[in-house]
């Protein structure tokens, strides 16, 4: 984001800091003048967690300016209800919508190219209803709105079809849910962007770790918010069995998309080395893989 | 009375279209989209006879049939949506006006009774062939596989164009989304049978070139059935003595039901459209309740033809039965979940495509078959996984099937019913053939202990290096045959995994 507004941010964070000070107990290892790259909010309702996590980053005003258009990309890929943890939490999505509109966004769209039939997914995920109520335009994906994008620095994927809104919106917010996925180990922010792709996405599954990074080279999310309120431990990404769901009551928000994914992975029983794409992505300069080099702020709302 | 009848026809037709359009996922309204199909007495009678079972949803047709006894063929003239479409076509088509006024030929009138008699005979031997003839099933079918998909195609093309107009873009997206939420399917439906079904329908409409309501006059077995029952109707046509014998009523009668003595009409043929009431220059014609004995009520089927019809029915069914041998082994098709055992299924299914229509709004796996399941199975619904899949959270095909050929299953039950079994084709599947990871099938497998699992093994990849590859396999006990694996397989052409009807459960 632009340097010009740093002064504003400081003022706002100070305020936000005061406001949340009474809830914040975890040591804040961040220089007060800088925003953390990563905020982890724990132990409250999805909406509260999102609110606190984004405020911890400096508030939505840092990312969304008055009159801008926003695209929120949650995971709405599966015909599942929120309890089954296959789609992004609808209350969390609705909260982000509200915050974007409060920050003055002229339009907030929410969409995903689903795997199961779109109408079922939009409805049963609960996202259609709650995001609409919050004031978003929840839209179905229209085939004719995919556009070919060249990815000159892509290693294996040199071009692909991307959804117009993801390319042209002023602000892109990535909102995946953290869950198990056999080919990528776990699916987080990087994998979530397959939902803005057209074409035969199954072809990306061979050499997935390289290809998913190639795809991410073509998009610039201003903010990644990982929903780990409920996470899916097995039988992902479609899930369905409540026994495979763990309730973590955690939301991870950040501007460094590699770090955000790396942090979310710590919630799972998985070695970071298994998520090979993170290494490739950090080598491509998309973010920081070593979490000890990242400014992280943890907020525990239970106390 | 003619105006009232026209309004009734238009309203019933619009109601038919409305019911058709609202039958789509998630189908929460639960409005009976099958209402018109159930109102067809032919469907009710033959399915009850061939299926040898009483299905409550078939009662409406029986009621309409009973009402024909006093009130005649009001269904044909006032309600039947196909009749309305034919009337509209008749209005559009220009026929050669005959110079001298002669009564059009009655030569083909017997055919409909012949068809009816053949159908009933066949149904006695538990063979159901009305699906080709029933007017409501026919119209639902052509709407499902041809008219609606073509409409969707046009609207989609218009939207695609509108999206390219920059300043309209956001408005267009609003409109598109509204359409999606109300009447429009997310996906364009595709049906291989669209062309043959549409052309057969077009042939029936083109009969209008010969005479008006040619199909209804000469072929429709539903009309024949209602006609036989309305022989002794008490709601009937009267002509008072202001009649000048001008013959306009006979000329304008769409059913050719008025005799050469214009005061008489055939109670079997008359559909009470009241055209004669309205065109009479001296207002001599009217309808009222009266004694049933007056007039002509000839069912135009000689005893000889009746016998021939029965023979034709039996011959026809034997021919078709003989053409399909040992379906259990040779039949390759996947049926929708909850379909009755094949014999019973065929007895009941009237090929209305209601299931196909609603499936297109979710997984979209159902297609009308051609001869994949034998000659007996033409246009029955089959699941074609490469084109669509059986959506795990959907049981709508059973909910819209009014004959019970597909049973209504609770969603929890349906999720456990096996319609087939997936097999890997190891000469196609990417990990097995090319030693590269893929597992798209596993990703989409909807059962919560996934039916597709994998072994991690070392193998030499396409670049010559040894690597760990995930080799998938199917657990037969878990697989329900929904076909999403075959559908989502990223290979071009034949998939690396395919579903057969092995393990199929038909209760």
Q: Work out the average pLDDT over B133-146.
A: 95
Least confident among A76-90, B46-60, B271-285, B348-362: B46-60
Q: Chain A window 1-60: which residues touch B at a Cβ cutoff of 8 Å?
A: none
Q: Lowest mean pLDDT: which of A200-204, B22-26, B34-38, B493-497?
A: B22-26
A124 and B CB contact within 8 Å: yes
Nearest Cα residue in chain A from B470: A183
Q: For all residues of chain B together, what is the average pLDDT?
A: 90
Q: What is the mean pLDDT of the segment spanning A191-203?
A: 94
Are the beta carbons of B46 and B130 closer than 8 angstroms? yes
Instruction: For an interface test with B, give the residue of A70, A109, A116 to mutate (most B CBs within 10 A).
Output: A116
DSSP H or E run through A251: strand A245-254
pLDDT digits (tens, 9 = 90+) for B275-291: 999 999 999 999 989 88
Strand, helix or coil at B120? helix
- B159 contacts A202? CB cut-off 8 A: no
Of B375, B378, B369, B381, the residue nearest B324 (C-alpha): B375
Q: Average of pLDDT values for B430-453? A: 93
**DSSP string computed for B39-60:** H-HHHHHHHHHHHTS--GGGHH
Strands B497-500 and B421-424: antiparallel
**Burial environment of residue B167 by CB neighbours within 10 A (0 to 12, 13 to 18, 19 or more):** exposed
The average confidence (pLDDT) of chain A is: 88
Q: What is the ipTM of this complex?
A: 0.82
pLDDT, tens digit, for every residue of B170-216? Answer: 899 999 988 887 777 767 889 989 999 999 999 999 988 888 899 99
B410 pLDDT higher than 70: yes
- At which residue do the structure tokens 């201003």 appear? A222
The Cα–Cα gap between B138 and B40 comes to 11
Of B26, B159, B440, the CB nearest to A142: B159
Contact A235 B450 (CB under 8 A): yes
Rounded CA-CA distance B49/B46 in Å is 5
pLDDT at A98: 96
Tens digit of each residue's pLDDT (9 = 90 or more) over A107-135: 999 999 999 888 889 999 999 999 999 99
Measured in angstroms, the CA of B439 and the nearest CA of chain A are apart by: 7
Q: Do A182 and B442 touch (CB under 8 A)?
A: yes
Which of these ranges, A33-42, A123-132, A204-213, B403-412, has the smallest mean pLDDT? A33-42
Angle at B76 between CA B71 and CA B80, to 5 degrees: 125
**Check: CATH 3.30.70.20 for B418-507?**
yes
SS3 B469: strand
In this complex, is the C-beta atom of A205 within 8 Å of any C-beta atom belonging to chain B? yes
Tell me how far the alpha carbon of residue A226 is from its chain's centroid.
5
Structure tokens at B302: 């000689």
At B376 the pLDDT is 83
Q: Which residues of A touch B180 (CB under 8 A)?
A: 119, 140
The CA distance from A190 to A161, in Å, is 16
* pLDDT attached to residue A236: 82
* A273 interfacial to chain B (CB closer than 8 Å): no
Which one has a higher pLDDT value, B494 or B128? Answer: B494
Q: Quote the distance between the C-alpha of residue B385 and its chain's center.
A: 21
CA-to-CA dists, residue A271 to A209, A257, B297, B365, B470, angstroms? 15, 18, 87, 40, 18
Is A115 close to B450, i.e. CB distance below 8 A?
Answer: no
**Rounded Cα gap, residues A24 and B329, in angstroms:** 69
- Element (H or E) spanning B171, and its range? helix B169-182
Q: Which residue has the tokens 């039916």?
A: B451
Confidence of residue A185 (pLDDT cuts 50, 70, 90): confident
Each domain of chain B, given as residue ranges in start order, spans 2-143+200-289, 418-507
- Within 10 angstroms of residue B311's Cβ, the number of other Cβ atoms is 12
**pLDDT value of residue B28:** 80
Q: Are B422 and B497 in contact (CB under 8 A)?
A: yes
> B476 with B427: CB under 8 angstroms?
no
**CA dihedral (B179, B183, B187, B190) positive or negative:** negative
Dist CA B447 CA B342 (whole Å): 26
Ordered domains of chain A (ranges, CATH): 28-300 (3.40.50.11440)
**Rounded to whole angstroms, how far apart are CA atoms B332 and B349?**
18
Beta-carbon separation of B448 and A240 below 8 A: yes
Q: What's residue B291's pLDDT?
A: 81
């Amino acid at each position: 984001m632009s340097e010009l507004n740093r002064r504003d941010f400081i003022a706002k964070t100070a305020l936000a800091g005061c406001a949340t000070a009474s809830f914040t107990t975890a040591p804040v290892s961040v220089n007060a003048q800088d925003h953390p790259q990563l905020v982890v909010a724990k132990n409250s309702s999805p909406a509260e967690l999102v609110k606190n996590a984004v405020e911890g980053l400096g508030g939505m005003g840092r990312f969304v300016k008055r009159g801008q258009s926003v695209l929120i990309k949650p995971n709405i890929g599966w015909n599942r209800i929120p309890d089954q943890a296959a789609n992004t939490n609808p209350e969390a999505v609705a909260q982000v919508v509200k915050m974007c509109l409060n920050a003055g966004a002229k339009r907030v769209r929410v969409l995903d190219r689903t795997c199961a039939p779109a109408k079922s997914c939009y409805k049963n995920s609960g996202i259609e209803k709650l995001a609409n109520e919050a004031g978003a335009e929840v839209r179905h994906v229209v085939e004719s709105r995919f556009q070919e994008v060249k990815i000159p620095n892509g290693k294996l994927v040199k071009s692909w079809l991307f959804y117009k809104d993801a390319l042209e919106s002023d602000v892109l917010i990535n909102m995946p849910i953290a869950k198990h996925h056999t080919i990528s180990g776990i699916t987080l922010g990087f994998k979530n962007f397959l939902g803005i792709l057209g074409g035969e996405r199954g072809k990306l599954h061979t050499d997935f770790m390289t290809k998913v990074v190639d795809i991410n080279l073509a998009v610039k999310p201003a903010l990644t918010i990982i929903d780990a309120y409920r996470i899916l431990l097995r039988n992902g990404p479609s899930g369905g069995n409540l026994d495979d769901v763990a309730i973590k009551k955690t939301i991870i928000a950040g501007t460094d998309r590699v770090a955000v994914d790396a942090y979310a992975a710590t919630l799972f029983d998985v070695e970071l080395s298994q998520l090979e794409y993170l290494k490739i992505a950090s080598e491509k300069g998309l973010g920081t893989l070593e979490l000890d080099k990242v400014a992280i702020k943890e907020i525990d709302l239970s106390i | 009375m003619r105006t009232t009848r026209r309004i009734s026809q238009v309203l019933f037709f619009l109601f038919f279209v409305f019911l058709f359009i609202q039958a789509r996922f998630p189908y929460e309204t639960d409005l009976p989209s099958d209402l018109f199909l159930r109102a067809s007495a032919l469907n009710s009678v033959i399915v009850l006879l061939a299926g040898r079972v009483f299905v409550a949803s078939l009662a409406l047709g029986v009621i309409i049939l009973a009402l024909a006894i006093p009130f005649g063929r009001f269904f044909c003239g006032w309600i039947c949506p196909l009749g309305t479409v034919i009337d509209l076509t008749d209005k559009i088509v220009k026929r050669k006006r005959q110079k001298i006024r002669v009564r059009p030929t009655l030569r083909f009138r017997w055919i409909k009774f012949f068809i009816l008699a053949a159908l009933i005979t066949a149904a006695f031997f538990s063979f159901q062939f009305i699906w080709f003839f029933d007017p409501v099933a026919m119209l639902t079918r052509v709407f499902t596989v041809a008219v609606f998909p073509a409409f969707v195609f046009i609207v989609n093309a218009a939207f695609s164009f509108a999206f390219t107009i920059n300043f309209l873009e956001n408005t267009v997206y609003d409109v598109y989304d509204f359409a999606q939420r109300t009447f429009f399917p997310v996906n364009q439906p595709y049906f291989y049978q669209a062309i043959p079904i549409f052309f057969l329908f077009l042939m029936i409409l083109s009969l209008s070139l010969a005479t008006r309501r040619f199909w209804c006059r000469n072929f429709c077995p539903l009309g024949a059935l209602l006609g036989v029952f309305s022989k002794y109707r008490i709601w009937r046509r009267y002509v008072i003595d202001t009649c000048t014998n001008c013959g306009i009523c006979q000329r304008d009668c769409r059913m050719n039901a008025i005799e050469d003595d214009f005061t008489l009409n055939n109670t079997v043929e008359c559909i009470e459209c009241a055209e004669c009431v309205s065109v009479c220059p001296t207002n001599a014609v009217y309808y009222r309740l009266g004694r049933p004995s007056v007039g002509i009520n000839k069912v135009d089927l000689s005893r000889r033809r009746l016998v021939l019809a029965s023979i034709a029915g039996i011959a026809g069914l034997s021919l078709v039965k003989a053409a399909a041998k040992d379906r259990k082994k040779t039949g390759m098709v996947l049926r929708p979940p909850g379909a009755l055992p094949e014999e019973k299924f065929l007895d009941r299914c009237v090929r209305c495509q209601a299931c196909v229509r609603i499936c297109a709004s979710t997984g979209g796996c159902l297609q009308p078959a051609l001869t994949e399941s034998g000659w007996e199975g033409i246009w029955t619904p089959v699941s074609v996984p490469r084109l669509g899949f059986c959506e795990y959270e959907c049981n709508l095909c059973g909910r819209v099937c009014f004959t019970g050929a597909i049973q209504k299953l609770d969603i929890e039950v349906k999720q456990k019913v096996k319609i087939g079994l997936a097999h890997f084709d190891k000469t196609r599947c990417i990990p097995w053939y090319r030693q590269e990871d893929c597992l798209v099938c596993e990703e989409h497998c909807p059962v919560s202990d996934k039916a597709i699992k994998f072994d991690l093994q070392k193998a030499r990849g396409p670049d010559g290096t040894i690597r760990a590859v995930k080799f998938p396999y199917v657990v037969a006990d878990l697989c329900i045959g929904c076909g999403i694996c075959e559908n989502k397989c990223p290979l071009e052409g034949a998939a690396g995994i395919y579903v057969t009807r092995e393990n199929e459960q038909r209760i």
